[in-house]
Amino acid sequence: MARKVLNRKVLREEAEAAEKADAGEKAVKKKKTTTKKRVTRTKEPTVIRKKVFWGVFSQSLKRVATFEFDQKADAVAKAQALSQSGKSPHFVQKVKEVVED
């Protein structure tokens, strides 16, 4: 059987014309679908106020008492009294707590 002879120049011209048509349609679509810059809203940082206290803790890290920051001597005295009277030693440590307005 004989094969049909193809005219490659005609086929090439048809392919180029189809590519130009597709490129024109894509350009129109790109113009229509322009991307807008996304606007992001940032959260305003919440201000959390904290206050420092002296805490008297047992050996198992349970807070027994709290004292104002300027009353460190009282906190140390309380820790020594609890250490002498009880079996476990007590210690003093800074504690930061949130202040409610």
Express as a percent the part of the chain with pLDDT over 70.
87
Global pTM exceeds 0.85:
no
Assess whether pLDDT exceeds 80 at residue 44.
yes
Assess whether pLDDT exceeds 70 at residue 51.
yes
Assess whether pLDDT exceeds 90 at residue 31.
no
pLDDT band at 79 (very low <50, low <70, confident <90, very high): very high
Under a CB-based contact definition with an 8 Å cutoff, are residues 54 and 75 in contact?
yes
| SS3 assignment, position 70 | coil
